[in-house]
Amino acid sequence: MTSVGNDNFILGFSHIAHDCRVGNSIILANGALLAGHAVVEDFAYISGLCLVHQFVRLGKYSMMRGGARVSLDIPPYCMADDANSLRGLNTVGLERRGFTAESIKEIKKAYRRVFGGEKPMEEQVDALLKDGLSAEAKYFVQFIKDSERGVCRPQKI
């Protein structure tokens, strides 16, 4: 069953397909399309004319740039560019939502270790989960670990 949370902006010509779960405080801009079984977590921003493939998850505070299309999960706090790539962290959005400088620093550190480490991503994720992480950084790393489709990755770190 499709469920839509509270305080969302769902703009014209956007589409939420069957069996989607849409959280709270989402922005789904004009012409954005969610295919079946997509999950959009709280405070995600999906810009105009974006395409989200079926079974994709968008993490909390993630953002898709206009016209982007994804068939892989977008980790929390990240900005998705086109064709399953990440542009980086949505630091401006995090600051606007009241994340502390220390919390953002911890998320950035985890982001760099996951995507820019010398070891394979899976090993980096497992190692990070054994470290003492802030709740926000742990959520970021655990989201990646739990991904069944795989996650979008940056082209450069």
Residues catalogued as catalytic: 18-19, 36
d(CA 113, CA 109) in angstroms, rounded, equals 6
Query: If you ran DSSP here, which 8-state letter would residue 152 be given?
Result: -
Give whole-number Cα distances, 19 to 16, 34, 145, in Å.
9, 10, 23
d(CA 153, CA 80) in angstroms, rounded, equals 9
Give whole-number Cα distances, 6 to 64, 106, 115, in Å.
20, 29, 33
| Helix, strand, coil in percent for the chain, rounding step 5 | 30, 25, 50
What is the arrangement of strands in the sheet containing 51-52, beginning at the earlier edge strand? 15-16, 33-34, 51-52, 69-70
Q: Are the beta carbons of 125 and 114 closer than 8 angstroms?
A: yes
